[in-house]
Amino acid sequence: MNLVERSAQQSAGEFAAVRGEAPASLDAFARAVLGTIAEPGDGVLGRVIAAVGAAAAAEALLAGAPAERLADAVGAAGGDLDEREAESGLARWRPRLDHGDFVRSLAQAGRVGARLIVPGDACWPSGVDELGVHAPIGLWVRGRSDALDGRVPTIALVGARAATGYGEHVAMESSAGLVDRGFAIVSGGAYGIDGMAHRAALASDGMTIAFLAGGVDRFYPLGHESLLSLIAQTGAVVSELPCGAAPTKWRFLQRNRLIAAASGATVVLEAGIRSGSLNTAGHAAALGRPLGAVPGPVTSPASAGCHRLLREFDAVCVVDADQMAELAGRATRPGATTRDPAAAGAVGSRPRALAADTPGARSAVDDPDAIRILDAMSSRRPRELPEVARRAGLTVIEAMAALGRLEAEGVVERRPGGWLRRRAG
Amino acid sequence: MNLVERSAQQSAGEFAAVRGEAPASLDAFARAVLGTIAEPGDGVLGRVIAAVGAAAAAEALLAGAPAERLADAVGAAGGDLDEREAESGLARWRPRLDHGDFVRSLAQAGRVGARLIVPGDACWPSGVDELGVHAPIGLWVRGRSDALDGRVPTIALVGARAATGYGEHVAMESSAGLVDRGFAIVSGGAYGIDGMAHRAALASDGMTIAFLAGGVDRFYPLGHESLLSLIAQTGAVVSELPCGAAPTKWRFLQRNRLIAAASGATVVLEAGIRSGSLNTAGHAAALGRPLGAVPGPVTSPASAGCHRLLREFDAVCVVDADQMAELAGRATRPGATTRDPAAAGAVGSRPRALAADTPGARSAVDDPDAIRILDAMSSRRPRELPEVARRAGLTVIEAMAALGRLEAEGVVERRPGGWLRRRAG
C-alpha cells in the first residue's frame, strides 16, 4: 500500500461524505490532496498530473521524491518537465502538506454538504478542460453538482461591484431574459452586477451558478451569505479551493478564468476601466469564447470598461437578452466561436493587462508572483520569508525575488520581525 | 463653334460670377449644365463623362445626338456604355434641358454668392472622387470654397434629428474637442445632432461645413437659416445641386454619400434604428473610410442605430474626441483606412439597407427609382406620367415600372388626371 492509499484509508469516512454516490477513486482522493497544496492554475502541477496522473503526483509529493525522479517520471510518461521546474514545484508544494489541515478541510466540506467533482465525473464541466495545464484539479460544489454538466447552456453575466442603477437594471433584464430562453446564469457572487444577475435568475426560477475565490464553506462577501445560500439551494456555489481556504486577490483572478471557461459565452454588463470583470473577459477571449459587452452612456465611468472591450478587444455589442442568447449560440457551432481568431489571440497574449481593480495592484498585474506575495502579507504583522512563501504557494527563492521587486516599488518593507506590506496611500 | 460654346457665350456673365477667380473653362461650364439635368449620383452620366469628358457629353445632349452615337463615342474613348443605357440616359436627361432655367439658376447662384467648383480646381475635395462614376459633377459652395481642399483634416459628425439631451451633449463635446485638435467638422445641417455639431464648432471658432440636399440658395431646414448663414461666413455650405433645386428624399440619401466621401472619418453620435445617418455610415464603410459610433444606454432607442453599427457593421466604438481624432488619423495611413476590408465590403454591398427614416420609405429603400418617383409626386395634385418621370429624373419607362411597383404596395394611385401619392396612415 503506497502513501496515497494509506492516506485515503485514514480519511475514508470524511472523503466518502464529499464524493456522494461517486465510486471511491484514488484519482479523486489524490486530486483532493493536490488541491490543498497548490494555488489555482499551477501549470507545473498541471503538467505533472497530465503526464503521470494525480495519484502518482500525490505519491511523489507524500513520499518526498527528489526533483530528479519527478522530472524523469514525467518525461518517461511523455510529458515535459525539467529538473529545475520539478524542484521549484516541490519546494512550493511541500511546505503546505499537512494531513491534519487536509482532514479538517474534508470534514468541514462534509459539514456544509460540499461535494468534490473531478474530471471524468459525468457532471464535470468539460469547458474548463480547455484551460489545459491550468485547468482546475477538482471542483467543490454546494448545491446541484450537475449544474454544469452541459445539459443546460450557460452564459456568464459579470460586471463591476460599483454598479449604477442603469447597470443593475440591465443585469436584471438580461438575466431574467436569458433564464426565459433556457440559460443558466454563471457569475461571481459579488456585490453589484454579479449579485443582480444571480438574484434576477433566482426570481425567474432559473438556475444560477456562483464561482467563489475561496472555500465554499465560507460565503464571501459576507453580505451575500443569504443570496449564496439561496443559490446553493437551486443552483450551485462552486470553487476549486478546499474548504477553509480564504479568498485572495490571486484566487479572484484565477476564479475568473473558471467563470469564463465554464460558460458558453461571457457578457460584461457594466464595468469601470479597471474592473476585475475585464479579467474574466480577457480569459473568455483567450479561450476563443464569444465575448459580449453592453454599452452604456459615454458619460458614465461605470461603462468605460465595456467600451474598452468593444473598442480594443473586439467584443460583440449586445443590448438585450436576445442578442446575448445569439452570442452564446455561436459557441455551439464549431469553428464559429469567435469573430476573429487573430483578435482573440491578441487578447490571449495579454489577459492580465485587463485585470486590476485593487490599489497597488496596478504594477503587479503583469507579475503573478507579486500578486500572490501581496496576498500572503499583512500590513500589521511582519512575516518571515518562509512563512510568506508558504502562504503565497511559492518557493522561497521565488518569494524573495518578488519581494525584492515589490520593495523597489515601495509596496513592501523589511522589518526586524520579517516582511511587512505597506498601507496604500 | 459647337452648342456648348454657344451656350457658354450666351451666359458668360452669369457663369463668370459663379467661377470667381477660376479661369473660364468649357469643362466647368459643361459640368454646370450637366448638373442641372441629372439626379445626383447618376452612374450612367458618370461613365459618359469619365470616357469623353463633360464638354463632349453636354454637346451630345444639346445636339440631340442619337443613343447609338453616344454609346459609340464612349466605347471609342475606352469607356463602357451599351446603346440601351445610352438611350435611357438621354431619355431621362433631355426633358430637363431648359436654357432659361439654367441661366436663372446661374443668376441666382451669383446673387447669393455661390461658387461652382469642379474636379481639377485646387480646392476640389479629392475624397469625393473615390465615389467613381457616382462622384459629383460639380459642387456649389457658399462660404470658403477652399474649406475642403485637404489642408485641414475633416471628420463627419452625424446623427438623428430626434436627438436626446445625451446625444446633444456628446455632439457638443465631440465637436468642440475635435476643433481643438485641428479638425473641420462636416455634417448635414439638420436639426438635432447635426445642428449641435455645427454650433459647437462655430462656438469654438472652428471651421464647419454643411452639405445640403437642395440648392445652396435656399437654406434647409428653415429653422436653421441663421445657423447655415453663420456656417457660410466662416466655413462652407455645399451642395452638388444647382440653385433652385429642392431637397428630396433621394437627394438627402445622395447628399449623405458626399458627407462620407468628403470626410476623413465618419462618426455617428446618436441614431435611432432607422435614422438616415446610418445611410451616411453605410457610405463611409462602403468607401473603406473609418467609421465610428458612440454608444449610449441600451435603454435609449435614440442610440439603437449606433449599437447596430457597432454590432453588425464593425464600426469602432468611440467615446470622446480623442478617440474620434485617432479614428480619423487612421485614414492618413495608407492601407490602414479600415479595420477589416472584408467587413467594409459586406457593408458596401448593402449600404441602402441602412437608409430609411421617413414613413412609406421602408419598402422603397431597396428601390432607388421608387424613392425618386415618390419625391416627384404630390399627394394633392395628380401628375401625368411624363411629368412624374421628368421630375424624378427617370425615363418614362423606368417611371412606369416604379409606379407599378408602388401601386401594388398601395403607396400611389392612378387618377383621371394622372398619378397621386397616397397620404401616409
* pLDDT band, very low/low/confident/very high, at A356 (cuts 50, 70, 90): very low
Percent of chain A surpassing pLDDT 70: 91
Q: Do A295 and B299 touch (CB under 8 A)?
A: no
Average pLDDT (A162-182) is 97
Chain B residues in contact with A318 by the CB 8 A cut-off are 311
Site from A267, A294, A317 to mutate, B interface, most B CB atoms within 10 angstroms: A317
The rounded distance, in Å, linking the Cα atoms of B421 and B372 is 12
Would you state the pLDDT for residue B295?
98
Q: Do B295 and A298 touch (CB under 8 A)?
A: yes
Question: How far does B11 lie from chain A, in Å, by closest CA?
Answer: 54
Is B248 part of the contact surface with chain A (CB cutoff 8 Å)? no
- Evaluate whether B312 touches A326 at the Cβ level (below 8 Å): no
Of B298, B316, B323, the CB nearest to A295: B298
- SS3 of B95-148: HHCCHHHHHHHHHHHHHHCCEEECCCCCCCCHHHHHHHHHCCCCEEEEECCCCC
Q: Do B170 and A299 touch (CB under 8 A)?
A: yes
Chain A residues in contact with B297 by the CB 8 A cut-off are 166, 295-297
Question: Tens digits of per-residue pLDDT, A189-225?
Answer: 999 999 999 999 999 999 999 999 999 999 999 999 9
Would you state the pLDDT for residue A93?
94
How high is the mean pLDDT in each 10-residue block of chain B (425 residues)?
Answer: 89 91 88 95 94 96 94 94 92 92 95 96 95 96 95 96 96 97 97 97 97 96 96 97 94 96 97 93 93 97 96 94 92 37 33 36 59 87 90 86 85 88 76
Provide the ipTM. 0.78
Q: Do B170 and A298 touch (CB under 8 A)?
A: yes
Of A169, A304, A317, the CB nearest to B311: A317
Q: Do B319 and A296 touch (CB under 8 A)?
A: no
CB contacts < 8 Å between A and B, how many?
Answer: 59
Chain B residues in contact with A159 by the CB 8 A cut-off are none
Chain A residues in contact with B172 by the CB 8 A cut-off are none
Res A349 pLDDT > 50: no
Is B395 part of the contact surface with chain A (CB cutoff 8 Å)? no
Q: Do A307 and B297 touch (CB under 8 A)?
A: no
* pLDDT band, very low/low/confident/very high, at A355 (cuts 50, 70, 90): very low
Question: How far does A173 lie from chain B, in Å, by closest CA?
Answer: 11
Is A294 part of the contact surface with chain B (CB cutoff 8 Å)? yes
Q: Do B296 and A294 touch (CB under 8 A)?
A: no
Is A295 part of the contact surface with chain B (CB cutoff 8 Å)? yes
Chain B residues in contact with A311 by the CB 8 A cut-off are 316-319, 323
Res A61 pLDDT > 80: yes
- Hey, do A126-354 and A368-421 end up sharing a CATH topology, with the first three levels equal? no
A70-79, A401-410, B88-97: which range is least confident on average? A401-410
Site from B311, B313, B327, B330 to mutate, A interface, most A CB atoms within 10 angstroms: B311
Average pLDDT (A242-259) is 95
Residues 6+ apart with CB under 8 A from A285: A291, A313, A314, A315, A338, A343, A344, A347, A348, A351
Which chain A residue is nearest to residue B318, measuring alpha carbons?
Answer: A311
Residue B104 CA to its chain's centroid (Å):
22
Does the domain made of A126-354 have the CATH classification 3.40.190.10?
no
Of A304, A311, A319, the CB nearest to B298: A319
Which chain A residue is nearest to residue B171, measuring alpha carbons?
Answer: A298
Would you state the pLDDT for residue B366?
61
Chain B residues in contact with A323 by the CB 8 A cut-off are 311
- SS3 of chain A: CCHHHHHHHHCHHHHHHHHCCCCCCHHHHHHHHHHHHCCCCCHHHHHHHHHHCHHHHHHHHHCCCCHHHHHHHHHHCCCCCCHHHHHHHHHHHHHHCCHHHHHHHHHHHHHHCCEEECCCCCCCCHHHHHHHHHCCCCEEEEECCCCCCCCCCEEEEECCCCCCHHHHHHHHHHHHHHHHCCCEEEECCCCCHHHHHHHHHHHCCCCEEEECCCCCCCCCCHHHHHHHHHHHHHCEEEECCCCCCCCCHHHHHHHHHHHHHCCCCEEECCCCCCCCHHHHHHHHHHCCCCEEECCCCCCCHHHHHHHHHHHHCCCEECCCHHHHHHHHHHCCCCCCCCCCHHHHHHHHCCHHHHCCCCCCCCCCCCCHHHHHHHHHCCCCCCECHHHHHHHHCCCHHHHHHHHHHHHHCCCEEEECCEEEECCCC
Domain residue ranges in chain B: 3-112, 126-354, 368-421
Which chain A residue is nearest to residue B319, measuring alpha carbons?
Answer: A298
Res A188 pLDDT > 80: yes
Chain A residues in contact with B316 by the CB 8 A cut-off are 311
Is B226 part of the contact surface with chain A (CB cutoff 8 Å)? no
Is B311 part of the contact surface with chain A (CB cutoff 8 Å)? yes
Site from A319, A326, A330 to mutate, B interface, most B CB atoms within 10 angstroms: A319
Would you state the pLDDT for residue A330?
57
CATH class, domain B368-421, is: mainly alpha
Question: How far does B328 lie from chain A, in Å, by closest CA?
Answer: 15
Is B330 part of the contact surface with chain A (CB cutoff 8 Å)? no
Is A296 part of the contact surface with chain B (CB cutoff 8 Å)? yes
Chain B residues in contact with A303 by the CB 8 A cut-off are 295
Question: Tens digits of per-residue pLDDT, A100-145?
Answer: 999 999 999 999 999 999 999 999 999 999 999 999 999 999 999 9
Which chain B residue is nearest to residue A294, measuring alpha carbons?
Answer: B298
Question: How far does B311 lie from chain A, in Å, by closest CA?
Answer: 5
